[in-house]
Amino acid sequence: MTYSPTPSDSTTFLMELDHRHLIHPHQTGAQRERCVFVRSKGCSVWDTAGREYLDVSGGGNWVAQVGHGRAELAEVAAKQMTELAYYSSFFEFSNDKAVRLAERLAGLAPEGINKVFYSGGGSEGVDSALKIARLYHYNRGATERSWIIGRNLGYHGASLGSGTVTGFPPMQQGVGPLLPHVERVSPPYPYRASELYGDADPTDFLIDELTATIERLGPGNVAAMIGEPMLGSGGVVAPPPGYWPRVRKLLSDNGILLIADEVVTGYGRTGVWFDSARRGMQADIIVTAKGITSGYAPMGAILMSDEIGETIAGEGAYFFHGHTYHGHPTAAAVALANLDIIEREGLVDRAGPIGSWFQAALDPAAELPHVGDLRVEGAAICLELVGDRDTKQPIMAGPAVLELRRRHGVLVRDYGPMMILSPPLVMEQQDIGRAADAVIEVLARVGPDGEPNAR
Ligand code: PLP
């Protein structure tokens, strides 16, 4: 089939081809509509029909820290592709950009985290971290330590390993048997504290549950716990201040590693380079992706302590693990240039003000009958939708998100009942106002079933 795009036929034509050939991640078969993008700049993207959308979702997936269409990054990629597009990083082979990026990341990472292993994205990074944690213990003679503890509502990816530690049941349905030796505990979720923890203090409850879980599995059988510093896809849920320090202590007392999944929070999303440190996680391993390149190239980086790095890959060890695109020179060059932009433009420091502007602009939304909670953590924002504010019965955010796109050209994400905003860190106050007005307009029309009423 040949294709000559014209403004009138390209949308229909591409939609038809898409239906015929393309399977989308997280695809619902019933959704036949396609939104086919062809261009982007700053905080805007355009579809085949020339319609402009305001991207309040970070490219739909919490990326786009530096915004879209940066010629500077394209130039860096083009130069690197001409000089050295790719050569393997296996064995003794290396490249200047992968090395420089590793040094840069070690400089940004919390104290004591100096070793870097690359991935092609978040799921691959989480899988690598799980293997690294198990191998670390194995190489130290603790061969029984294989259990991994994850959390309900934690999102860690879609590969078999990362998908097993993810706390969303649909990720596991129909694709078992899953990764063995994975256990899950409850997450902190202040908005639903009474449902989840009864009258107990939430942190006490969660520490008791984790203690009991470790005892049941056998402390000497547990390799690691994995958690996002704050739940991302689970609904931008920050833990009480004492939670991570107490978890950290409990794990350390039992020789268990802590893996911080910073795929969403890393590189400035919440107003700091790495969110785990300020929440007291003192993680042994930090998994990052997304913001490392702002989505301009697929890449992730697993950052770990010197001790772990030495134990799995130092003198006398053999790390038989790695992917073709580990340390990809072009991706690494783009990552370096992306970090330059983040630093030069002070984008980490912009996340806080962006969050405050959204908080103020969305204030009227928090009073609407079907908005149960509004949570803001830097430039990560969630409106949790409920059928009733007293019973807190969840309702799906999907219809409202669709309406926002169709009627207002505003792109946000839905995760079950969560409407999530993760704007580029370059978003201006005027666009924040436009996005918030649209969100309020749509949510004011949402009924108890989640469907917006006709205007
Ligand atoms: N970890 C977290 C916290 C994520 O939010 C995601 C993706 O959204 C992943 C891991 C998986 O990353 P990827 O989709 O790049 O595999």
Q: Which atom of ligand 1 is nearest to the CA of 126?
A: 10
Q: Which residue has the higher pLDDT, 19 or 3?
A: 19
Q: Are residues 56 and 78 in the same domain?
A: no
Whether residue 293 is predicted with pLDDT greater than 90 in this model: the reply is yes
State residue 11's pLDDT score. Answer: 85
Whether residue 8 is predicted with pLDDT greater than 80 in this model: the reply is no
Q: Within a domain: residue 453?
A: no
Beta bridge partners of 261: 287
Span from the CA of 157 to the centroid of ligand 1 (angstroms): 5
User: In the listed set 309, 329, 344, which residue is the last one of a domain according to the structure?
Assistant: 344
State residue 32's pLDDT score. Answer: 86
Q: Are residues 243 and 385 in the same domain?
A: no
Q: Are residues 376 and 288 in the same domain?
A: no
**What is the domain extent for residue 266?**
72-344
Span from the CA of 47 to the centroid of ligand 1 (angstroms): 25
Q: Are residues 260 and 386 in the same domain?
A: no
User: For ligand 1, atom 1, which residue shows the shortest CA distance?
Assistant: 156
Q: Within a domain: residue 229?
A: yes
Q: Which atom of ligand 1 is nearest to the CA of 154?
A: 3
If pLDDT is split at 50, 70 and 90, which confidence band does 33 have?
confident
Q: Are residues 242 and 355 in the same domain?
A: no
Per residue in 185-208, pLDDT (tens digit) is 999 999 999 999 999 999 999 999
Ligand 1: residue of 275, 290, 294, 422 to mutate (most ligand atoms within 8 A of CB) is: 290
Q: Which atom of ligand 1 is nearest to the CA of 121?
A: 15
If pLDDT is split at 50, 70 and 90, which confidence band does 10 have?
confident
Q: Where does 294-424 have alpha helices with state H?
A: 306-313, 329-344, 347-361, 398-403
What is the C-alpha separation between 418 and 397, in angstroms, rounded? 6
| pTM (2 d.p.) | 0.97
Q: Are residues 403 and 390 in the same domain?
A: yes
Span from the CA of 4 to the centroid of ligand 1 (angstroms): 36
Phi and psi at 203, nearest 5°, equal -70, -40
Q: Are residues 250 and 101 in the same domain?
A: yes
Q: Within a domain: residue 4?
A: no
Whether residue 1 is predicted with pLDDT greater than 50 in this model: the reply is no
Q: Within a domain: residue 3?
A: no
Say which CATH number the domain at 407 has.
3.90.1150.10
Average pLDDT over residues 41-52: 96
State residue 3's pLDDT score. Answer: 45
What is the C-alpha separation between 228 and 236, in angstroms, rounded? 10
Q: Are residues 77 and 52 in the same domain?
A: no
Pocket of ligand 1 (CB under 6 A): 61, 121-123, 126, 155-157, 228, 232-233, 261, 263-264, 289
Ligand 1: residue of 264, 276, 286, 415 to mutate (most ligand atoms within 8 A of CB) is: 264
Say which CATH number the domain at 250 has.
3.40.640.10
Whether residue 4 is predicted with pLDDT greater than 70 in this model: the reply is no
Average pLDDT over residues 213-222: 98
What is the C-alpha separation between 378 and 296, in angstroms, rounded? 22
Per residue in 400-443, pLDDT (tens digit) is 999 999 999 999 999 999 999 999 999 999 999 999 999 999 99
User: In the listed set 319, 344, 369, which residue is the last one of a domain according to the structure?
Assistant: 344
Span from the CA of 261 to the centroid of ligand 1 (angstroms): 8
Average pLDDT over residues 53-79: 98
Span from the CA of 5 to the centroid of ligand 1 (angstroms): 34
User: For ligand 1, atom 13, which residue shows the shortest CA distance?
Assistant: 122
Ligand 1: residue of 156, 237, 413 to mutate (most ligand atoms within 8 A of CB) is: 156
| Rounded alpha-carbon distances, angstroms, from residue 121 to 207, 271, 301, 348 | 31, 22, 8, 21
How far out from the chain centre does Cα 366 lie?
A: 24
Per residue in 300-331, pLDDT (tens digit) is 999 999 999 999 999 999 999 999 999 999 99
Per residue in 136-176, pLDDT (tens digit) is 999 999 999 999 999 999 999 999 999 999 999 999 999 99
Q: Are residues 353 and 332 in the same domain?
A: no
Span from the CA of 115 to the centroid of ligand 1 (angstroms): 21
Q: Which atom of ligand 1 is nearest to the CA of 300?
A: 15
Span from the CA of 327 to the centroid of ligand 1 (angstroms): 19
* Counted domains in the chain: 2
Average pLDDT over residues 361-382: 97
Q: Within a domain: residue 361?
A: yes
Buried b (16+ CB within 10 A) or exposed e, 140-173: eebeebbbbbbbbbbbbbbbebbbbbbbbeebbe
Q: Are residues 150 and 255 in the same domain?
A: yes
- For the four alpha carbons of 370, 372, 373 and 379, in that order, the dihedral sign comes to negative
Span from the CA of 63 to the centroid of ligand 1 (angstroms): 10
Q: Are residues 265 and 398 in the same domain?
A: no
User: In the listed set 344, 371, 404, which residue is the last one of a domain according to the structure?
Assistant: 344
Span from the CA of 264 to the centroid of ligand 1 (angstroms): 7
State residue 29's pLDDT score. Answer: 86
Where do the DSSP E strands lie in 213-362? 222-227, 257-261, 285-288, 300-305
| Rounded alpha-carbon distances, angstroms, from residue 331 to 94, 106, 116, 242 | 14, 17, 15, 37
Q: Within a domain: residue 451?
A: no
Whether residue 135 is predicted with pLDDT greater than 50 in this model: the reply is yes
Average pLDDT over residues 171-182: 97
Q: Within a domain: residue 448?
A: no
Span from the CA of 263 to the centroid of ligand 1 (angstroms): 6
Share of the chain above pLDDT 90, in %: 95
Q: Within a domain: residue 408?
A: yes
If pLDDT is split at 50, 70 and 90, which confidence band does 255 have?
very high
Ligand 1: residue of 123, 124, 287 to mutate (most ligand atoms within 8 A of CB) is: 123
Q: Which atom of ligand 1 is nearest to the CA of 228?
A: 3
Q: Are residues 84 and 119 in the same domain?
A: yes
Average pLDDT over residues 320-346: 98
Average pLDDT, the chain: 96
Whether residue 51 is predicted with pLDDT greater than 60 in this model: the reply is yes
